[in-house]
């Protein structure tokens, strides 16, 4: 009988204790974060979508080579000696037209390995992480400031320049007919013009 | 109300339809509100926020969900017993609705002012069992059948303590009519039956502790009767998928939903009528103070709804506090604890009434 009454009392008492706890929780502020309206502050060194500052890019291709998944595609055309390509923020003179700088974020693994080799620190991680798309092709980002037409134009310019040079060379070679081996000379000339 | 309407329209048939539809005007908004409240209460008790996006703090969420349910395909599995399967949700809802017919919403409006109101309510709430059993059995699904069987066992067992407690109240008050019980507890909260009724004297103080015990027993057993957690064996999600309404979808499922929440209010209203003065205000009426008699029924409606919603809130509170009991614990609680206590309570209240 005592056991019975004790059980009854325990039953009522424990229910009341439980109700007290849940009632307290009713007034505790919720831990929920209203995601699209309120965002959790990200850590300082998060790795999310890449961004390329094309003003600083010298088209050295080091990031593309560092990429373990080959998601960066870079195509460059050499600038003419007459072209003014500008100077990067750390004072380097640009020599290449970057006609194509594509990053495929469907492939990107956000390892940040491309960021370290960049000599001008123009490729870096941003804190943007909401960029999902309905089509996979939309994740293919083009960073190049030149349009395809402009790129073609630069390419043609360079080829024209090359052809003119070739013609000059040929003329010079004709004058000095006694000295052979024009092929080797041509290649050295090429590297010289690239260095300018 | 019926007389008033039949005078107004000059036709008893129209008046009958309108007065029959009136509780629905209360039930549907209440269910919409209660579902929202349930989600908010559960969320805040678990330190979450609950629905927040549809309307202010998600108050339109239930309406959106309701329209979603209406658009859903009404799936009827091929091996179900179609006649019973289709009719079951409406029987369950009808059982709930019949209870509303006898509830005194205010002194001006009561569906039918029956002299045997309490008896009638106990009788018609048994109809829900038939509906649930029908739904479970006709579904041709073992989980549904399990749920229905558990529900039947549970409701039948818990009707005994409910009936005994109500019997003791009937002994004490000497009436079965719900409107008369409400009228007895008029004006102030110390006249409520939980505090010993309106008659001052030795009886009031003698009966008070037994009234509280009676209230606890009635509350627990009605909680079990409406299949709410901790007694939600019939629809135990983790064991039986969804119990007796596993196979239902669309509008029929929403019928069960409507019935469940309607039932919650019905039993809360019965508890508040019996022990907490029903539609009577605990602190006097504004209509009396302003000498505006027309205001009183509206105030009474407010107090009735407020008390009902408060007890519904306590049901939710219990739901998010207690874990589900096992079947054997459920039966132990009913047969070994509630029934003996309620019988002892009945005898003591009987003796006090005789004094």
- Is residue B94 within 8 Å of B153, Cβ to Cβ? no
Per-residue pLDDT, A182? 53
Positive or negative, the Cα torsion across B112, B116, B122, B127? negative
d(CA B257, CA A178): 103
Taking any CB pair shorter than 8 Å as contact, residues of chain A touching chain B are 7-8, 11-12, 15, 18-19, 21-23, 25-32, 34
Per-residue pLDDT, A17? 92
The structural domain count of chain B equals 1
Please report whether residue B296 resides in a domain.
yes
Residue B57 DSSP one-character state = G
d(CA A75, CA A100): 5
Per-residue pLDDT, A183? 54
Structure tokens at A121: 């620190």
Structure tokens at B217: 């027993």
Q: Indicate the average pLDDT of chain B.
A: 83
Query: How does pLDDT run across B216-239, given as a tens digit for each residue?
Result: 888 888 888 888 878 877 777 777
Residue B95 has pLDDT above 60, yes or no: yes
Please report whether residue B265 resides in a domain.
yes
Taking CA–CA distances from A6, the nearest residue in chain B reads B337
**pLDDT mean over B296-307:** 84
d(CA B164, CA B123): 14
Q: Which helix (H) or strand (E) holds A20?
A: helix A2-26
Please report whether residue B41 resides in a domain.
no
Per-residue pLDDT, B7? 74
Domain containing residue B136:
88-354
Beta bridge partners of A98: A76
Chains A, B: CB pairs < 8 Å: 42
Per-residue pLDDT, A192? 46
Check if B298 contacts A (Cβ < 8 Å). Answer: no
Structure tokens at A33: 């974060």
Residue B142 has pLDDT above 70, yes or no: yes
Contacts of B321 in chain A (CB under 8 A): 15, 18-19, 21-22
Distance set, CA B278 to CA B83, B192, B297 (Å): 39, 9, 12
- Is residue B303 within 8 Å of B125, Cβ to Cβ? no
Q: Which residue has the higher pLDDT, B111 or B21?
A: B21
Q: Which residues of chain A have pLDDT under 50?
A: 185-188, 190-196
Taking CA–CA distances from B217, the nearest residue in chain A reads A12
Contacts of A29 in chain B (CB under 8 A): 47
Please report whether residue B11 resides in a domain.
no
Residue window 37-76, chain B: list those with CB within 8 Å of chain A.
41, 43-49, 52
Distance set, CA B243 to CA B80, B137, B154, B337 (Å): 15, 11, 13, 26
**pLDDT mean over B155-167:** 87
Please report whether residue B257 resides in a domain.
yes
Look at the domain A50-150 and name its fold. Answer: Alpha-Beta Plaits (3.30.70)
Residue B141 has pLDDT above 60, yes or no: yes
3-state secondary structure of B247: coil
Domain regions of chain A by residue span: 50-150
Query: How does pLDDT run across B45-90, given as a tens digit for each residue?
Result: 888 888 888 878 888 888 888 888 888 888 888 888 888 888 888 8
pLDDT band with cut points at 50, 70 and 90 for residue B178:
confident
Residue B243 has pLDDT above 60, yes or no: yes
Q: Which residue in B315, B279, B285 sits closest to B178, CA to CA? A: B279
**pLDDT mean over B255-283:** 85
d(CA B333, CA B327): 10
Please report whether residue B13 resides in a domain.
no
**pLDDT mean over B132-153:** 85
Per-residue pLDDT, B144? 85
d(CA B57, CA B66): 17
Please report whether residue B3 resides in a domain.
no
DSSP track, B136-151: HHHTT-HHHHHHHHHH
Q: Which residue has the higher pLDDT, A145 or B166?
A: B166
Report ipTM (2 d.p.): 0.77
DSSP track, B184-204: HT-SBGGGSGGGT-S--SHHH
Please report whether residue B117 resides in a domain.
yes
């Amino acid at each position: 009988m005592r056991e019975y009454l004790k059980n009854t009392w325990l039953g009522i008492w424990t229910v009341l204790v439980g109700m007290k706890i849940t009632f307290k929780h009713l007034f505790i502020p919720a831990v929920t974060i209203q995601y699209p309206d309120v965002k959790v502050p990200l850590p300082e060194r998060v790795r999310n979508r890449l961004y390329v500052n094309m003003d600083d890019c010298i088209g050295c291709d080091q990031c593309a080579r560092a990429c373990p998944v080959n998601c960066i595609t870079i195509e460059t055309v050499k600038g003419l000696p007459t072209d003014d390509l500008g100077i990067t923020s750390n004072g380097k003179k640009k020599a290449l037209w970057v006609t194509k700088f594509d990053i495929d974020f469907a492939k990107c693994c956000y390892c940040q390995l491309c960021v370290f080799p960049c000599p001008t620190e123009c490729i870096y991680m941003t804190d943007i992480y909401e960029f999902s798309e309905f089509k996979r092709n939309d994740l293919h980002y083009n960073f190049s400031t030149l349009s395809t037409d402009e790129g073609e134009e630069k390419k043609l310019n360079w080829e024209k320049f090359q052809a003119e040079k070739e013609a000059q060379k040929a003329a010079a070679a004709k004058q000095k007919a006694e000295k052979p081996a024009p092929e080797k000379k041509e290649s050295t000339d090429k590297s010289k013009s690239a260095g300018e | 109300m019926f007389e008033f309407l039949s005078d107004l329209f000059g036709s008893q048939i129209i008046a009958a339809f309108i007065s029959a539809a009136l509780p629905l005007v209360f039930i549907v908004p209440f269910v919409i509100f209660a579902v929202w409240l349930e989600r908010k209460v559960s969320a805040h008790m678990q330190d979450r926020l609950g629905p927040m996006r549809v309307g202010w703090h998600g108050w339109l969420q239930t309406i959106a969900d309701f329209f979603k349910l209406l658009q859903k395909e009404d799936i009827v599995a091929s091996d179900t017993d179609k006649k019973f399967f289709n009719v079951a949700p409406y029987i369950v809802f009808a059982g709930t609705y019949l209870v509303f017919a006898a509830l005194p919403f205010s002194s001006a409006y009561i569906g039918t002012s029956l002299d045997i109101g309490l008896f009638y309510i106990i009788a018609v709430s048994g109809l829900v069992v038939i509906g649930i059993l029908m739904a479970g059995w006709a579904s041709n699904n073992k989980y549904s059948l399990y749920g229905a069987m558990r529900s039947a066992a549970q409701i039948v067992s818990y009707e005994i303590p409910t009936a005994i407690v109500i019997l003791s109240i009937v002994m004490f008050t000497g009436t079965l009519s719900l409107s008369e019980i409400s009228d007895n507890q008029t004006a102030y909260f110390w006249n409520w039956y939980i505090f010993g009724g309106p008659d001052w004297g030795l009886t009031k103080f003698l009966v008070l502790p037994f009234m509280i015990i009676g209230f606890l027993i009635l509350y627990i057993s009605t909680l079990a009767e409406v299949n709410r957690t901790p007694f939600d064996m019939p629809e135990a999600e983790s064991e039986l998928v969804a119990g007796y309404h596993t196979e239902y979808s669309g509008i029929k499922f929403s019928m069960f939903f409507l019935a469940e929440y309607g039932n919650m209010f019905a039993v809360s209203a019965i508890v508040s009528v019996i022990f907490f003065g029903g539609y009577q205000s605990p602190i006097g009426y504004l209509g009396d103070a302003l000498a505006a008699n027309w205001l009183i029924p509206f105030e009474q409606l407010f107090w009735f709804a407020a008390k009902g919603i408060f007890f519904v809130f306590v049901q939710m509170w219990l739901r998010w506090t207690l874990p589900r009991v096992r079947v054997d614990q459920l039966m132990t609680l009913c047969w070994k604890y509630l029934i003996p206590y309620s019988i002892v309570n009945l005898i003591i209240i009987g003796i006090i009434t005789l004094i």
